[in-house]
């Protein structure tokens, strides 16, 4: 399991789940930490798309850090779900 970074303040799940790419349909099983980060990234994306005025520099920075964390910790799932 990959430990979540100290800056992460999203919900931390105790169980993983299978996630499907909303565009291409690929799916991957994520462990609890990966799922926590994935949901954080997707939540940020929703804010950026629906309420761009709420996208602070801090959130944008954490979004990019989250993508980097995910790419490092599970490159295969990153390519299938987020790239």
Rg (CA), the chain: 12
Q: What is d(CA 40, CA 48) in angstroms, rounded to the nearest whole number? A: 12
pTM: 0.92
Note the pLDDT of residue 25: 86
18-69 pLDDT tens trace: 999 988 889 999 999 999 999 999 999 999 999 989 889 999 999 999 999 9
Domain limits, the chain = 17-81
Note the pLDDT of residue 1: 55
How confident is the model over 68-78, as a mean pLDDT? 96
Note the pLDDT of residue 22: 84
25 vs 6, which has greater pLDDT? 6
């Amino acid at each position: 399991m990959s430990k979540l970074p100290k800056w992460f303040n999203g919900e931390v799940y105790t169980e993983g789940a299978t996630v499907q790419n909303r565009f291409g349909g690929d799916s991957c099983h994520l462990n609890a930490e990966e799922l926590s980060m994935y949901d954080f990234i997707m939540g940020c994306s929703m804010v950026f798309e629906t309420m761009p005025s709420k996208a602070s520099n801090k959130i944008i920075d954490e979004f990019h850090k989250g993508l980097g964390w995910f790419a490092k910790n599970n490159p295969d799932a990153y390519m299938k779900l987020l790239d």
